[in-house]
Amino acid sequence: MKIIKIFLISLMILSLIWMGNVAAIQISVSSDDSTVSTNYMLSDDAALRDGVSIFDGGTVVNRAARGTGSNSISTNVGGDDYSAGTAVYSSGQFSLSSSIIAAGNGALISQDTGCSGDAGAEIYGIANGGAAGQQAAVLNGRLSSLQNLAVGGGALASQDTAVDGESGSLGSSAISPNQLIDVSGSYSDEGGFIDAKLSSIGGLAVDMQGTANIVGVECLDDSILGTLKSNGYSMEMDGVYEAQGGDTATFNLEVSNIYRASAVSRTMTPSVTSLSLITSGGRHPEIVANPPGNPSSYVLEEGMIDSSNPLQLYLRTDSYLTAEGLSASASSNAISLAAGTWDYWTSASLFTSSVICDSTKDADTVDGYSVHAFRPVSGTALAYTRNYFDQGGYIVESDVVYNSNYAWTTDYNTARASRGKTKDLQTVALHELGHTCGLGDLYTLPSSDPRASDYYEIMNLYTGPRHYLGAGDIAGIQAKYGA
């Protein structure tokens, strides 16, 4: 033991000397039945102190590191029937304090990270046929995350994370032999942020708990997670917010809840049992015969409406709606026209022919009702859609929230004259209902992708009122549901 200690102290001194010009060092410490192996990539001015002690049957590492520039430290821990790991990287300010206790039958890891620049932190454990993990990352911003892991017989992972900067992401996963619950969230541009406290359990069974707030929107809490778990539902949430400088940016949160046996035979092929066109009572969707845009400009997301069971949409009529100066009839008509525009281009039946006004139904609750509602949303979110889908991949509910902190209108000319300040309900509903149908955003694609700059598509950015679909939107809905 004495020899090892001296060995480690001398290594520490050596590593401080070698750290110029991004030295890469790997140090492995093994006891009888566990191994702790660490890769260090440290910049010139990074300081690192690893206190390592080996006791009978295990290893303890107490680590403190800080610096600037490009730094990363990753550690893999292995024992008899488990493995685990952590990784932290940063291109700016970097500080890490962590402790690792590894024994043959299990390990405890705790890491407290504060980073800036392009930065990330993750932790995971694998045991007993399952796994649990937590992950967070930021581009050109700040990240602080406290992450904990207990592994052995199963794995419990948690994170308490705050992220802000150019773009950010979040992940939490829980895996058993039979089920996968995976949370992933992100935002795309400056002005966005994430606050999340999540915990996941993997092994013979899975569990997921916690909260996630993205750009000020409470995307996830225990009540939503509880309903998803008890019904076997997944959820996909897509929203837009105003980034710094007034650009439109996107945020998203997905909860995949997959029974792994059924996931194998999962089919996303549309069951076109009804070939009758909806003869919409009074709906006159705006149709352009030769729509502009590129027919390849679409993104298909997971989940689709079961066309043998078209979605009935509701509009919540409450004081937020009237405070916008919107009438229930004009608003429900605008949403109905938007729904009918998608329906027009496919022979599958996506939506029933009218939108029901109801003051008792609300969005953001998993209740089987697909509700469009106005409400104040803190932060800069404009609107978002939450889809819930079952194990077959069929959407069982789709809620849309319009942020009542913005001005909205059902009058095309008012929206156009405002030059983007007053949002046109039918246009935004047309975009959000594209998500309800299972189409994804185009403006989140990398700028090298030609679809990202095809602004003729409704699934691209809001650039003012537009009531018809582009060629790519139409190709997308037909790829999903048939022509």
Which residue ranges make up the site for Zn ion (CB under 5 A)? 238, 441
Nearer to Zn ion, 251 or 314 (CB): 251
CA angle 221, 224, 226 (to 5 degrees): 100
Classified as helix, coil or strand, 68 is coil
Nearer to Zn ion, 229 or 435 (CB): 435
Q: Which residue in this structure is represented by tokens 């995971």?
A: 124
Nearer to Zn ion, 161 or 444 (CB): 444
Cα Rg of the chain, angstroms = 25
Nearer to Zn ion, 143 or 461 (CB): 461
Phi-psi region of 128 (alpha: psi -120 to 50; beta: other; left: phi over 0): left
Are 183 and 173 in contact by the 8 Å Cβ rule? The answer is yes
Q: Where are the beta strands (DSSP E) in 35-177?
A: 35-42, 47-55, 58-67, 71-78, 82-90, 94-103, 107-127, 130-151, 155-175
Nearer to Zn ion, 158 or 403 (CB): 403
Count of Cβ atoms closer than 10 Å to residue 368 Cβ: 11
**C-beta of 311: minimal distance to Zn ion in Å?**
18
**C-beta of 169: minimal distance to Zn ion in Å?**
17
CA dist 346 and 477 (Å) reads 7
**C-beta of 440: minimal distance to Zn ion in Å?**
8
**C-beta of 274: minimal distance to Zn ion in Å?**
28
**C-beta of 428: minimal distance to Zn ion in Å?**
9
CA dist 392 and 349 (Å) reads 18
Chain residue at closest Cβ approach to Zn ion: 441
**C-beta of 441: minimal distance to Zn ion in Å?**
4
**C-beta of 238: minimal distance to Zn ion in Å?**
5
Nearer to Zn ion, 59 or 385 (CB): 385
Are 370 and 376 in contact by the 8 Å Cβ rule? The answer is no
2 class by beta-carbon count within 10 Å (0-12 exposed, 13-18 middle, 19+ buried)? exposed
Tell me the one-letter amino acid at 234: S
**C-beta of 297: minimal distance to Zn ion in Å?**
14
CA dist 186 and 164 (Å) reads 11
Nearer to Zn ion, 238 or 473 (CB): 238
Nearer to Zn ion, 349 or 385 (CB): 385
CA dist 395 and 70 (Å) reads 44
Q: Which of 433, 431, 425, 429 is nearest to 443 (CA)?
A: 431
